[in-house]
Structure 1
Amino acid sequence: MNELRKIAYIKLIQSLLSCPSGKQVKILSAHPELIDEGLVEMMRVVAEMTGEQGQRNAGWLRNLAGKIETANYSLPRLQTKLAADTLLQQGLQQYQQSQYPRAFQSLQRCLALYQTIGDKARMATAWRVLGDIEQRRGNWDEAERLFRQSLQLSTELGDRCGMATSWGQLGDIEQRRGNWDEAERLFRQSLQLSTELGDRKGIATSWRVLGDIEQRRGNWDEAERLYQQSLELRIELDDRSGMASSWASLGDIQRNWGNWDEAERLYQQSLALRIELDDRSGMASSWASLGDIQRNWGNWDEADHLYRQSLKLSTKLGERSSIANSWGQLGNIEKLRGNWDEAERLFRQSLELSTELGEPFSMANSWGQLGDIQRFRGNWDEAEHLYRQYLEVMTKLGERFGIATSWGVLGNIEKLRGNWDEAERLFRQSLELSTNLGERSRMATAWGELGDIEKLRGNWDEAERLFRQSLELSTNLGDKSGMGDSYNDLAIVHTHFNQIPEAIAAWRKGLAVCPPNRFPLEALELGRSLGNTAFDIEEWETAIEGYEAAIEAVETLCSFTDSYTEKQKRREAEISVYEKLVQACIHAEEIGKALASVERSKSRNLIELLVNANLEPTGNIPEEMRQELDRLRREVTAKQRILESLDNPLNSNLVSDTDFGQRRSESPNFNPTAIETIREQYIAAKQALNALLDRLKAYDPNFTLTQRVEPIQFSEIQGLIDEKTALIEWYLTRDRIYAFVVTGGDGKISHWESTPTQYTDLQQLCQTYLDAYFSNKSQWKTDLDGFLQRLSDILDLPQLIARIPSDYRQLILIPYRDLHLFPLHALAINRATAPHYLCDRFPDGVKYAPSCQFLQVSQRNQKSESQNRFFAIQNPTGDLTYADLEVEAIFPAFHPNASCLTRQQATKLALSQHPYEADFRSAEYLHFAGHGGFNFTNPLDSFLVLAGAVAGGENNSGRDPERFVSWRKGESVELEKCYTLGELFELNLPYCRLVILSACETGLIGVSPDLEEYMSLGLGFLYAGAQNVICSLWAVNDLSTAILMVKLYEELQTQSSVSQALNQAQQWMRSVTKRALIQWLDELSLEKEVKDSLRKNLPRLGLKPPEYRPFEDRHHWAAFCAIGI
Structure 2
Amino acid sequence: DQAENLEQAIEYLKAALQVRTRKDFSYEWASTQKNLAAIYEQRILGKREENLELSIDCCEKALQVFTYENYPVDWATTQINLGNTYRHRIYGVPVENLEKAVAHCENTLQVFTRDNNPQKWAGIQFSLGTLYKNLGEFCKRNPEQNLEKAIECYQNALSVTEREVFPFQWAEYKNSLGNAYRHRVQGDKRENYRKAIACFQEAKEVHTRQAFPKDYVKTLGNIGNAHQKVGQLGEAYKTFKEAIETVESLRGEITSGNEAKRKLAEEWNKLYQWMVKVCLELGTTEPEYYAKALEYVERSKARNLVELLANRELPKGKIPETLWAELQQLHRAISAEQRILEDAERLTRIEHDLFRVANPHLEISLPDRTKLNQLQQQYDERLASARHIDLNFSLTQQVERISCQEIQELLPDDKTAIIEWYILDSGQMFCTFIITHQGVQPIWKSTSKHLEELEKWRVEYLTTYQERKYQWSSDLAARLKRLAEILHIEEILARVPKTCNQVILIPHRFLHLFPLHALPVSLETWLRYNQETECLEPATNPCLLDCFREGARYAPSCQLLQRLQQEQRPEFQYLFGIQNPTPDLYEDYEWDLGAVGAIKKQFADSYILKQADAKKSEILRFDENAKTVTQHEELLKAHCLFFFCHGYFALVAPLDSGLQLADKCLTLGDIITHLNLKNCRLVTLSACETGLTDFTNISDEYLSLPYGFLLAGSTNVVSSLWTVSATATALLMAKFYEELQQQTNIAIALNTAQCWLRDTTVQGFQDWLSQSKLSRIWQRELGKYFNQIEKKQGATTKPFESPYYWAAFCAIGKGV
TM range (shorter): 0.5 to 0.7
Residues 631 and 999 of structure 1, relative CA distance in 2, 3 Å threshold: farther
RMSD of Structure 2 on Structure 1 (CA)? 5.4
- What is the match of residue 989 of structure 1? 676
1:828 Cα deviation after fit:
0.4
Determine the C-alpha separation between the residues in 2 that align with 1:1033 and 1:616: 26
Q: Is the 8 A contact 2:639 2:681 kept in 1?
A: yes
* CA contact 1:792–1:828 (8 Å) conserved in 2: yes
Pick closer, same or farther for the CA change 1:1059–1:423 going to 2, 3 Å. farther
Cα separation, partners in 2 of 1:623 and 1:748, compared to 1, 3 Å: closer
Name the structure 2 match of 1:783: 475
Alignment-mate amino acid for residue 906 of structure 1: A
| Counterparts in 2 of 1:507 and 1:898: CA distance versus 1, 3 Å | same
Asked whether the 8 Å contact 1:934–1:943 carries over to 2, the reply is yes
For residues 712 and 784 of structure 1, the distance between their equivalents in structure 2, rounded to whole angstroms, comes to 37
Measure the CA separation in 2 of the matches of 1:763 and 1:977: 36
Residues 1:592 and 2:291 aligned together: yes
Which residue number corresponds to residue 822 of structure 1? Answer: 514
Shift of 1:837: 0.7
Q: Any idea what SS the aligned residue of 1:588 has?
A: helix
1:760 maps to what in 2? 452
8 Å Cα contact 2:418/2:435 also seen in 1: yes
Question: For 2:650 and 2:155, how far apart are their aligned partners in 1?
Answer: 57
> Which of 707, 716, 719 does residue 1019 from structure 1 map onto?
707
Structure 1 partner of 2:615: 907
After superposition, the Cα gap between the structure-2 partners of 1:611 and 1:892, relative to the gap in structure 1 and judged at 3 Å, is farther
Structure 1: which amino acid aligns with 2:453?
D
CA distance in 2 between counterparts of 1:484 and 1:1081 reads: 74
Name the structure 2 match of 1:1124.
813
TM-score normalised by L of structure 1: 0.47
Q: What is the match of residue 888 of structure 1?
A: 597
Separation in 2, partners of 1:741, 1:987: 35
Aligned to 2:803: 1114
| Cα distance per residue 1:481-528 (max 9 Å; x no partner) | 899779869978998992755764775686588554653243234213
Instruction: Tell me the distance in 2 between the aligned counterparts of 1:977 and 1:463.
Output: 59
Identity of aligned pairs, percent?
34
Task: Report SS of the residue matched to 2:707.
Answer: helix
Amino acid aligned to 1:526: T
Task: Show the counterpart of 2:664.
Answer: 977
Q: TM-score, normalised to structure 2's length?
A: 0.63
Report if the CA contact (8 A) 1:722-1:744 is conserved.
no
State the secondary structure of the residue aligned to 2:742: coil
Distance 2:495 2:150 in 1: 56
Counterpart for residue 215 of structure 2? 522
User: What residue is the counterpart of 2:633 in the other structure?
Assistant: 918
In the TM superposition, what are the counterparts of 1:750-899 in structure 2 within 5 Å? 750-830=442-522, 834-859=540-565, 862-864=567-569, 866=571, 868-876=573-581, 877-878=585-586, 879=588, 881=590, 883-895=592-604, 897-899=605-607
Does 563-572 or 913-922 show the bigger shift? 913-922
1:177-232 Cα offsets, whole Å, 9 max, x none, are: xxxxxxxxxxxxxxxxxxxxxxxxxxxxxxxxxxxxxxxxxxxxxxxxxxxxxxxx
1:1044 CA drift (Å): 1.0
Is the contact made by 1:517 and 1:553 (CA closer than 8 Å) also made in structure 2?
Answer: no
Structure 1 gap ranges (5+):
1-338, 346-371, 383-409, 431-444, 638-692, 948-975
Q: Where does 1:389-468 land on structure 2 (aligned, <5 Å)?
A: 422=112, 424-425=114-115
SS at match of 2:695: coil
Q: Deviations over 1:737-769 (max 9, x none)?
A: 412222221112332233333333323322332
**Number of matched residues?**
626
Structure 1 residues 540 and 1120 mapped into 2: Cα distance closer, same or farther (>3 Å)? same
Structure-to-structure mapping, 1:600-615, within 5 angstroms: 600-602=299-301, 604-607=303-306
Question: What residue identity is the alignment partner of 1:855?
Answer: L
Letter paired with 1:559:
G
Aligned partners of 1:516 and 1:550 also within 8 Å: no
Structural mapping, 1:244-393, within 5 Å: none
Counterpart-to-counterpart distance in 1, 2:42 and 2:618:
50
Partners of 1:813 and 1:847 within 8 A in 2: yes
**Structure of greater relative contact order (alpha carbons < 8 Å, 6+ residues apart):** 2
8 Å contact 2:151–2:180 — kept in the other structure? Answer: no
Would you say 1:944 and 2:684 are equivalent positions? no
Structure 2: how far apart are the matches of 1:500 and 1:737? 24
Distance 1:872 1:736, change over 3 A: same
Task: Please give the alpha-carbon distance, in whole angstroms, between the structure 1 residues aligned to 2:769 and 2:330.
Answer: 47
Secondary structure of 1:1053's partner? helix
| 1:470 Cα deviation after fit | 6.1
Work out whether residues 252 and 307 of structure 2, in 8 Å CA contact, stay in contact via their aligned partners in 1. Answer: no
Conserved in 2, the CA contact under 8 Å of 1:885 and 1:1094? Answer: no
Superposition deviation, residue 730 in structure 1: 2.1
Greater Rg over alpha carbons, structure: 1
The one-letter code sitting in structure 2 at the alignment partner of 1:591 is Y
Q: CA deviation at 1:1117?
A: 1.0
Q: Give the Cα separation in 2 of the matches to 1:551 and 1:541.
A: 15
For residue 228 of structure 2, the aligned residue among 526, 535, 541 is: 535
1:559 to 217, 230, 252: 252
* Structure 2 CA distance for aligned equivalents of residues 551 and 607 of structure 1: 14
Q: Structure 1 CA distance, aligned partners of 2:477 and 2:383? A: 59
1:881 is matched by which residue type in structure 2? E
Indicate the residue corresponding to 1:1054 in structure 2. Answer: 742
Superposition deviation, residue 997 in structure 1? 0.8
Q: CA deviation at 1:838?
A: 0.5
2:723 corresponds to: 1035
CA distance in 2, matches of 1:1045, 1:1066: 10
Between stretches 844-853 and 930-939, larger displacement belongs to 930-939
Partner of 1:1078: 766
Stretch moving more, 797-806 or 587-596: 587-596
Secondary structure of 1:999's counterpart equals coil
Q: 2-side partners of 1:873 and 1:785: how far apart?
A: 32
Check whether the contact 1:871–1:899 (CA below 8 A) recurs between aligned residues. yes
Q: Give the Cα–Cα distance (whole angstroms) in 2 for the partners of residues 913 and 428 of structure 1.
A: 63
The 10-residue stretch of structure 1 (980-989 or 548-557) with the greater mean CA deviation from structure 2: 548-557
Q: Which runs of 5+ in 2 are unaligned?
A: 8-37, 44-51, 59-80, 85-100, 131-147, 284-288, 336-374, 387-393, 525-538, 623-629
Q: Residues 736 and 758 of structure 1 are in contact (CA less than 8 Å); yes or no, is this contact kept in structure 2?
A: no
Specify the alignment match of 1:999 in structure 2: 687
Post-superposition Cα deviations, 1:938-974, rounded to whole Å, max 9, x if no partner, equal 5455443333xxxxxxxxxxxxxxxxxxxxxxxxxxx
Give the CA deviation at 1:1078. 3.5
- 2:411: which partner in 1? 721
2:314 and 2:119 map into 1 onto residues whose CA distance is 54
